[in-house]
């Protein structure tokens, strides 16, 4: 399996789907290879395509504000997308584009091994919750083996619909609690008695 930087070289040169034809820059994703938290958005937009970096527009600014709420900075988390090249007019990605691009995200997840993945787009959510609605499951963390996935609304949705801003903030504020619970689970000795109901796992 290639390292992240090798993966970036592959993505920037990729021509596996037609989105390669309209892009200025592919946007592989960015962040530390050992990040505990990974955001997965949808696809690059106008600004991301220009700069080759994820979430550099208005939605990205809100993402930075969310991180600040829990005392974190963008440099401490990994930020990626399901699709690495901008679809024309920001249209939804097509199934064949999703299939073509999937191995890159698979490898990113495999290499980074985040503790918590925050899906911040419908297409990222579909990977773990194919039949669910964001309005029903946002903010509810779910465990998949060692990984916890927290579905959230897309930050851009809050820019169009101000009432979602508070929802995103409240959902995001659960992240430290999730990380703490994961750390506690790890430390728990095997023979420890079952916790009482009020301390039951949040997952
Ligand atoms: N929206 C996304 O889903 N991803 C980006 O990188 C920017 C905006
Ligand atoms: Fe390759 Fe993904 Fe870009 Fe399509 S969207 S050209 S599969 S990197």
Ligand nearest to the CA of 153: 1
Burial (CB < 10 A; 0-12, 13-18, 19+), residue 67, is buried
Judged by phi (left if over 0) then psi (alpha if -120 to 50, else beta), residue 132 lies in beta
Question: What is the 90 CA–ligand 1 centroid distance (Å)?
Answer: 10
Summarised one tens digit per residue, pLDDT across range 57-94 is 999 999 999 999 999 999 999 999 999 999 999 999 99
Q: Does 31 sit in the ligand 1 pocket, CB within 6 Å?
A: no
pLDDT band at 187 (very low <50, low <70, confident <90, very high): confident
Q: Tell whether the model's pLDDT for residue 197 goes beyond 80.
A: no
Judged by phi (left if over 0) then psi (alpha if -120 to 50, else beta), residue 5 lies in alpha
Residues with CB under 6 A from ligand 2: 11, 14-17, 19-20, 26, 83-85, 97, 100-101
Specify the DSSP element, H or E, that contains 151.
Answer: strand 147-151
Summarised one tens digit per residue, pLDDT across range 140-151 is 999 999 999 999
Q: Which atom of ligand 2 is nearest to the CA of 93?
A: 5
With the most atoms of ligand 1 within 8 angstroms of its CB, the residue from 51, 57, 89 to mutate is 57
Q: Which atom of ligand 2 is nearest to the CA of 11?
A: 8
Token look-up 């609304």 returns 153
pLDDT band at 128 (very low <50, low <70, confident <90, very high): very high
Q: Which domains does the chain have, with CATH numbers?
A: 2-181 (3.40.470.10)
Quick check: 109 and 31 in contact, CB under 8 A? no
Give me the mean pLDDT over the 106-131 stretch.
98
What is the predicted pLDDT for the residue at 202? 81
Quick check: 128 and 144 in contact, CB under 8 A? yes
Percent of the chain exceeding pLDDT 70 equals: 93
Give me the mean pLDDT over the 16-40 stretch.
98
* Angle, alpha carbons 8-13-14 (nearest 5°): 95
- Helices in the chain by DSSP H: which ranges? 4-13, 19-22, 46-51, 58-69, 95-112, 122-128, 134-137, 155-160, 163-172, 175-187
DSSP single-letter state for residue 91: P
Specify the DSSP element, H or E, that contains 41.
Answer: strand 37-41
Ligand nearest to the CA of 81: 1
Summarised one tens digit per residue, pLDDT across range 30-47 is 999 999 999 999 999 999
What is the predicted pLDDT for the residue at 78? 98
Quick check: 201 and 185 in contact, CB under 8 A? yes
Say how far apart CA 50 and CA 123 lie, in whole Å: 22
With the most atoms of ligand 2 within 8 angstroms of its CB, the residue from 83, 88, 96, 102 to mutate is 83
Quick check: 151 and 119 in contact, CB under 8 A? yes
Give me the mean pLDDT over the 180-196 stretch.
78
Q: Pick the residue whose CA is nearest to atom 7 on ligand 2.
A: 101
Percent of the chain exceeding pLDDT 90 equals: 90
Q: Tell whether the model's pLDDT for residue 1 goes beyond 90.
A: no
What is the predicted pLDDT for the residue at 18? 98
What is the predicted pLDDT for the residue at 188? 76
Question: What is the 187 CA–ligand 2 centroid distance (Å)?
Answer: 41
């Amino acid at each position: 399996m290639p390292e992240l930087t090798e993966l970036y070289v592959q993505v920037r040169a990729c021509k596996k789907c037609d989105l390669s034809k309209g892009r200025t820059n592919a946007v592989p994703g960015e962040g530390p290879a050992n990040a505990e938290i990974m955001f997965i958005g949808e696809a690059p937009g106008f600004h991301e395509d220009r700069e080759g970096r994820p979430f550099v527009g208005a939605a990205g600014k809100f993402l930075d504000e969310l991180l600040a709420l829990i005392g974190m900075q963008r440099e401490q988390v990994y930020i990626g997308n399901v699709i690495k090249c901008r679809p024309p007019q920001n249209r939804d990605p097509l199934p064949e584009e999703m299939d073509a691009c999937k191995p890159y995200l698979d490898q990113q997840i495999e290499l980074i091994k985040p503790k918590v993945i925050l899906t911040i787009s419908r297409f990222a959510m579909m990977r773990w919750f194919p039949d669910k609605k964001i309005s029903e499951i946002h903010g509810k963390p779910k465990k998949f083996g060692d990984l916890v996935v927290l579905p959230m609304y897309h930050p851009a949705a809050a820019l169009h619909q101000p009432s979602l801003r508070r929802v995103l903030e409240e959902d995001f504020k659960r992240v430290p609690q999730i990380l703490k619970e994961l750390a506690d689970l790890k430390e728990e000795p095997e023979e420890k008695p079952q916790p009482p109901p009020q301390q039951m796992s949040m997952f």
